[in-house]
Structure 1
Amino acid sequence: MTGAFPGELVLPFVVRVERADPPARTDALEAAARGALLMLTSDDPTWAAAVAEWDGRRIRKVVRRARGAEWRRALTVDGLDVVQGTAQLRVYPPVPVDDWPPELSRLQVAGTNLDDPEEPDPPAPGRPLVLLSPHAAMSTGKAMAQVAHAAQLGWRAADEAQRTRWAADGFALAVRDASESQWQTALEAEAPVVHDGGFTEVEPGTATAAIVLP
C-alpha cells in the first residue's frame, strides 16, 4: 500500500448515518461530490491557505460516518454543511492526514455501506455526470471519496464559462454506476478519470470514477 507523503493534507468528510434512518446511497455520493466543490471554492479566508495547499498536492479525501451524539459533536467543528436529498454531510477544511480534530478522529471509516431504496431517476440533462467504474468494487464510503475526486478533476477541466454556470447552479450534478458501455464511452471521450492511490480497498492506479462535463 502506498504511504502518505510527509505533511500531506486530507479533506475530511463526515456523513450522518443513523441506524434507523440511513441516507440513500446516491444522495450520499452526490453530497460528497458537491461538498468537495463547495470547499474548494469557499471564500472563507480562514480556510484559504489550507485549501490552496491541499489542492496543489495529490488530492486526498477521507469519509467517516457518525450518528446521534457523534453527529452532534461533528457539527461543533468548523465546516460546511451539505444536504442532498436524504443525505446530510459535513465537509471540513483540509487537515494533516494524521492530525484530525479530536471530535472527528474516533469516527468510523471502514464499512460505510448504503443502499438506494429504489432506482435513481435518470440524470437531468445538461448537468455534469460522475460515473463510477463497473470494474472497481468499493464500499459506499470509498465511492464517496472517489466521486469527490472526480468532481474536483471536473472543476479543473472546466473552462471559465462552465465554472460560472456550475457554481451558479449550486454545483448540481449526478452520480451513477456506469455500465460497461457508458464507462468505455467516457474513456474514449477522454473524460477526466480518477486513478486511486491504493490506500484502501483497491490497488494503486485503479480507475475508479470519471466525470462527463456537459
Structure 2
Amino acid sequence: MSSEQTTAPGGGAGGEDSPFRHEVTHRDKAPQYVLPLVVRIERSEPPARTDALESAARAVLVMLSDERSQGDGEWAQAVRDWQDARIRKVVRRARGAEWRRAEALPGITVMGRSAEVRVFPPVPLDGWPKELARLQVSGTELDDLEVPGDPDATAPVLWMSPDVDMSAGKAMAQAGHGAQLAWWELSDETRAAWRDAGFPLSVRTPPPALWAQLTTSGLPLVRDAGFTEIAPGLTVAVEGYDRAGALPERVRRPVTWR
C-alpha cells in the first residue's frame, strides 16, 4: 500500500523543504521515486500484524543505514533521488515462488519473530522491476493472535493513530515513515548506536487520550497525504527517538537481516 508522509517538529526534518510537508513544494517537481517493500504472507503461516509493522519499520532503517545507500554506494543515488522528492513507500505481498523471485533481486530481508519483510532500493514510480510490479498490493490483512504487550520504554515507540482504520500494508508503510522521521532527527553517532543495537523499536496503538497528548507534545508526526485508502491526516507519532543513542545492554541485540 502506497503512501506519503509530511510533517515533523520544528527544525531538522521539518523545514520548508522537507519532503514530510503536506504543502506542494519544489520537491513535487522532482522525479518521483518509491521505496518498495514486500512482506511474505504464506497462506498457512501469515505473520502477526504488529511484528509485520515493526519489521517494516526496521527494514526502512536498514536500507537508510546500509553502506550501499551511503556516499558512493551502489544504491546511494537512488536513495538521494527518493529523499529529494515526495517520500513514498509501497508494500506488496508475496508467497511461494513469488517470494523466491523477490528475494533474488538486490535488497535486504529483515526477519522479525514471525514476519519477513524485504526492502529494495528506491525505483522510479513507473520503473518497477517486473518481479515486483506483478505482486499484489491488496490482501495484506493481518491480525495479532495475542494482544501486544507494553512497548519497550527504553527504545523508540511508533504510536499509530487509534482514529484511522488501515490495512496491514498501509500501516506498514506508515510505520516505515515514522521510523524514517526518527532517523532524520538523530545525529550520525546516535544512528550508529541504534543500528548496532539492532534498531529496537515498538509499534503500538494508544488509547485516544494518550494519542491526543502525543499529537500535541511537539513530537515528530506522520501526516498521510490521503492519496490511497485513508483521508489526509495524522497517522503516527514518533516518541522516544532520543533514547536510541543510550540503549541498555539488555536490548543491544542485532536484528536479523540478509
Please classify the TM superposition score into its range, dividing by the shorter chain length: over 0.9
> Larger deviation: 187-196 or 79-88?
187-196
- Which of residues 179, 203, 228 is equivalent to 1:151? 179
- Return the TM-score normalized by structure 1: 0.93
Tell me what 1:180 maps to: 208
Tell me what 1:43 maps to: 67
Tell me what 1:76 maps to: 104
Q: Distance in 2 between matches of 1:55 and 1:180?
A: 32
Shift in Å, 1:194: 0.7
Q: Does 1:211 align with 2:238?
A: yes
Q: Distance in 2 between matches of 1:124 and 1:39?
A: 23
What are the Cα deviations for residues 117-174 of structure 1, in whole angstroms up to 9, with x where unaligned?
A: 1011211221000011011111000000001001101111224453232122111100
- Return the TM-score normalized by structure 2: 0.78
Q: Does 1:11 align with 2:35?
A: yes
What are the Cα deviations for residues 54-113 of structure 1, in whole angstroms up to 9, with x where unaligned?
A: 122221100000001111111111000100110001000000112110111010002311
Tell me what 1:107 maps to: 135
Q: Does 1:65 align with 2:89?
A: no
Q: Distance in 1 between matches of 2:145 and 2:134?
A: 29
> Larger deviation: 160-169 or 97-106?
160-169
Q: Does 1:163 align with 2:191?
A: yes
Tell me what 1:27 maps to: 51
Tell me what 1:95 maps to: 123
> Larger deviation: 181-190 or 171-180?
181-190
Q: Which runs of 5+ in 2 are unaligned?
A: 5-27, 244-258
- Which of residues 162, 165, 178 is equivalent to 1:137? 165
Q: Distance in 2 between matches of 1:47 and 1:71?
A: 22
What are the Cα deviations for residues 22-60 of structure 1, in whole angstroms up to 9, with x where unaligned?
A: 000011000110011111111111101111121222211
Aligned residues: 211
Q: Show structure 1 runs of 4+ deviating over 6 A.
A: none
What's the C-alpha RMSD, in Å, of the aligned pairs?
Answer: 1.6
Distance of aligned partners of 1:109 and 1:5 in 2 relative to their CA distance in 1, 3 Å threshold: farther
| Structure 2 residue identity aligned to 1:142 | K
Q: Distance in 2 between matches of 1:13 and 1:51?
A: 14
Shift in Å, 1:5: 5.9
Tell me what 2:223 maps to: 195
Q: Does 1:53 align with 2:108?
A: no
Q: Distance in 1 between matches of 2:132 and 2:79?
A: 19
For the residue of structure 1 that corresponds to 2:67, the secondary structure is coil
| Structure 1 residue identity aligned to 2:58 | R
Q: Distance in 2 between matches of 1:42 and 1:111?
A: 30
Q: Which runs of 5+ in 1 are unaligned?
A: none
Shift in Å, 1:209: 1.0
Give the percent of matched residue pairs that are identical in Structure 1 and Structure 2: 50
For the residue of structure 1 that corresponds to 2:111, the secondary structure is strand
Distance of aligned partners of 1:52 and 1:69 in 2 relative to their CA distance in 1, 3 Å threshold: same
Is 2:30–2:84's contact at 8 Å kept on the other side of the alignment? Answer: no
Shift in Å, 1:6: 6.3
